[in-house]
């Protein structure tokens, strides 16, 4: 399949000929803090990609971490986005209501033999990396050193039966070889990319306390929600390499991507949730208008 970017609709060339695919985008915040100018830009960006193509704009709440999610953040998200002038389809998908979807995906991956239980604590992983003296690094830091990868299945099963908590990791080398061929994905700004799925090493796909992780849930949800154009910050560019592999293994449709710039403060630091002073809440209280927010983030597309 080949892709060409047009103004907002994607012309997709398949062996059977050309057809026009209507654009479906999403904004996927985590209700773990107040939205700030960076979120405003991300939401405006995703919304505009759909709007200018006469497509659909969806919201998804990435709320799988119950220790950090708060209901007041969720209602503030809707309130801030409406204030910005955005409209979206309802109902909004909340990841915490769809753990069965993630379990099904994990079962598929497990049947392919590309998952293994990992019993390591964070501290054990750090110690192992320190002992080894070196570890390949990815965008999130050193790769997992593989301590549990070679564990005999019977021993792992005993530990699980004994109630020892574990995460599920992807054996990325095995998974990539199972894909059987080089994978590619289309970034509408940077062109066709050759996937480098091992960039994060053996990532966690299900956490000890949650049957999902960001990487798994995002791929499953984008498929279920029919997202055709994933727009998100350029800090997640590398994550797309891995997502492309997961899509291949799970036989999910492959969207297109745009990775937009991030919004920084005056000192050039990327805005973070902890910067409450720059939250849309705080700016609204200071009298900012939605137009001023658009201007401040240089929103033009
Ligand atoms: N929840 C992610 C974030 O807030 C968005 C992830 C994505 O768009 O894939 O950065």
The CA-atom distances, in angstroms, between 53 and each of 25, 49, 148, 183, 191 are 11, 7, 47, 28, 20
pLDDT of residue 284: 96
Using CA atoms of 51, 243, 251, 59 in order, give the dihedral in degrees to the nearest 10: -30
Q: With a 6 A CB cut-off, is 95 part of the ligand 1 pocket?
A: no
Asked if the model's pLDDT at residue 275 lies above 80, the reply is no
Residue nearest to atom 10 of ligand 1 (CA): 29
* Structure confidence at residue 301 as a pLDDT band (50, 70, 90): low
Asked if the model's pLDDT at residue 277 lies above 60, the reply is yes
Q: With a 6 A CB cut-off, is 29 part of the ligand 1 pocket?
A: yes
Asked if the model's pLDDT at residue 8 lies above 70, the reply is no
pLDDT of residue 133: 86
Residue among 68, 94, 236, 243 whose CB has most ligand 1 atoms within 8 A, to mutate: 236
Query: Tens of pLDDT along 41-96?
Result: 999 999 999 999 999 999 999 999 999 999 999 999 999 999 999 999 999 999 99
Query: Tens of pLDDT along 185-242?
Result: 999 999 999 999 999 999 999 998 899 999 999 999 999 999 999 999 999 999 999 9
Asked if the model's pLDDT at residue 4 lies above 70, the reply is no
Residue positions counted in the chain: 301
8 A C-beta contact, residue 192 and residue 186: yes
pLDDT of residue 20: 56
Residue among 24, 25, 30, 235 whose CB has most ligand 1 atoms within 8 A, to mutate: 30
Least confident of 8-12, 20-24, 241-245, 295-299: 8-12
pLDDT of residue 205: 98
Q: Which single residue is written with the structure tokens 């969720």?
A: 74
Q: pLDDT: is 273 or 114 the higher one? A: 114
Average pLDDT over residues 264-270: 80
Consecutive H or E run containing 40: helix 37-51
Structural domains of the chain ordered from first start: 1-97+264-301 (3.40.50.620), 98-218 (3.90.800.10)
pTM above 0.75, yes or no: yes
pLDDT of residue 192: 98
Query: Tens of pLDDT along 106-153?
Result: 999 999 999 999 999 999 999 999 998 888 999 999 999 999 999 999
| Contacts of residue 193, Cβ cutoff 8 Å, sequence gap at least 6 | 184, 185, 186, 187, 240, 241
* Structure confidence at residue 5 as a pLDDT band (50, 70, 90): very low
Cα–ligand 1 centroid distance for 232 (angstroms):
6
The span from the first CA to the last CA of the chain, in angstroms, equals 27
């Amino acid at each position: 399949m080949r892709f060409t970017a047009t103004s907002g609709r994607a012309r997709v060339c398949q062996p059977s000929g050309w057809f026009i695919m209507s654009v479906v985008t999403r904004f996927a915040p985590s209700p773990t803090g107040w939205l700030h100018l960076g979120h405003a830009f991300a939401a405006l960006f995703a919304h505009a990609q759909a709007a200018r193509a006469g497509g659909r704009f969806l919201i998804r709440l990435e709320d799988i971490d119950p220790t950090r999610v708060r209901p007041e953040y969720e209602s503030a998200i809707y309130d801030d986005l409406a204030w910005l002038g955005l409209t979206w389809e309802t109902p909004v998908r909340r990841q915490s209501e769809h753990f069965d979807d993630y379990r099904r995906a994990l079962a598929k991956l497990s049947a392919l033999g590309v998952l293994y239980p990992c019993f390591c604590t964070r501290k054990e992983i750090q110690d192992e990396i320190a002992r080894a003296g070196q570890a390949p690094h990815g965008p999130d830091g050193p790769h997992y050193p593989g301590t549990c990868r070679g564990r005999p299945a019977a021993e792992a099963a005993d530990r699980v039966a004994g109630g020892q908590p574990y995460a599920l990791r992807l054996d990325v080398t095995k998974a990539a070889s199972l894909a059987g061929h080089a994978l590619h994905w289309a970034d509408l700004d940077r062109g066709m990319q050759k996937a480098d799925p091992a960039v994060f090493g053996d990532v966690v796909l299900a956490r000890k306390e949650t049957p999902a992780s960001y990487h798994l849930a995002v791929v499953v949800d984008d498929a279920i929600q029919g997202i055709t154009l994933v727009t998100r910050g350029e800090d997640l560019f590398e994550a797309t390499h891995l997502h492309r592999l997961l899509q291949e293994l799970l036989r999910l449709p492959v969207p297109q991507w745009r990775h937009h710039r991030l919004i920084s403060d005056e000192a050039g630091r990327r805005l973070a949730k902890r910067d409450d002073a720059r939250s849309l809440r705080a700016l609204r209280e200071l009298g900012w208008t939605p137009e001023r927010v658009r201007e401040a983030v240089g929103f033009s597309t």
